[in-house]
Amino acid sequence: MDFAFILDPLPLVKAYKDSTVAMMRALAARGHRVHALEQGDIHWQDGATRGRARPLELRPGNEDWYAAGEPETRALKDYAAVLMRKDPPFDMEYVYSTYLLEAAEGEGARVFNRPRAIRDCNEKLAIARFRDFIAPTLVTRDAAVIDAFIDQHRDVIVKPLDGMGGTSVFRVRHDDPNRNVIVETVSHEGARTVMAQRFIPEISDGDKRILLIGGEVVPYSLARIPRPGETRGNLAAGGRGVAQPLSARDRQIGEALAGPLWAEGMLVAGIDVIGSFLTEINVTSPTCFVEISEQTGFDVGGLFATALIGAC
């Protein structure tokens, strides 16, 4: 079968840690063919959504890891499935891509994660659907409401709804002399809606990424442990990734979310758990396949390939 992956420019993809490469390799190992295209390679005309994709020959190693063939334009519905794996930012161009992919679905294409589901699932705000598992949380752009929340909970994390990799995430204590300027900065002086959450001290043990694939919970998480003096565990912010078996609470949260998200067309989701609390639901381009597989021996890519092929 032929599978098309929408992703960032190939020269920018770091094979040593990229989950999309792990997905491609798992499919190729089963004899399937993979193709790569970017957002700008998709177009709609005369009732058909097409993509200009290059077939890839995958090579071992992490440096010269692929050879790309000549580009070919074909209808997206002609692939066994189309995988939307473009990294954030989730900007308007990303939204336009989901509209095009939704049109392709209407023509018969299988698209994962489903474009409407991606569009409807803000990775920060989606936790509101699962209130039993979250710490005290506020979403607003009203500075006075944020101030009251900080006064109530004394130690709070404030972050924008469209951030990634730990960018613009601030810890604010009630007695912080810079609290007003931090709130003003994150909220763009009330022009941008933000999320505030009660600080969870267990962040010192790691911000755990738990992968949900085809309605199943991967039995290991990757705990992103903050470097000294830091409150963010994100790998992009210098965190250290340590794979570990799921705790009973991790599994409880994962199993509660896996079924509903898969029913909505989320083939792959990455939920973030700190201590015993769900903090985010990542659906655009969840990572950590490589780190979990290398540290535990669990074949995350294989589970993905089995789920994808079964869905086709």
* H or E element, residue 119: helix 115-120
Q: Is residue 17 annotated as a catalytic residue, yes or no?
A: no
**Crossing angle for the helix pair 179-186 and 143-153, to the nearest 10 degrees:** 130
Residue 232 is a catalytic residue: yes
Q: Which of 232, 234, 250, 291 is catalytic?
A: 232
Instruction: Single out the catalytic residue among 209, 234, 250, 291.
Output: 209
Rounded CA separation 69/141 (Å): 48
| Distances, alpha carbon 293 to alpha carbons 23, 165, 210, in Å | 12, 21, 13
Active-site residue, from 105, 250, 272, 291: 272
Q: Does the annotation count 224 as an active-site position? A: yes
Q: Is 209 a catalytic residue?
A: yes
Q: Of the residues 25, 114, 208, 224, which is catalytic?
A: 224
Query: Does residue 159 carry a catalytic annotation?
Result: yes
> What residues are paired with 74 via a beta bridge?
51
Nearest partner of 20 among 310, 278, 270, judged by Cα? 270
Among the options 25, 50, 159, 208, which is catalytic? Answer: 159
Active site residue 116: no
Per annotation, catalytic residue among 114, 124, 179, 208: 124
Catalytic residue among 113, 122, 234, 282: 282
Return the closest-CA partner of residue 158 out of 136, 134, 186, 133.
186
Catalytic residues: 124, 159, 209, 224, 232, 272, 280, 282
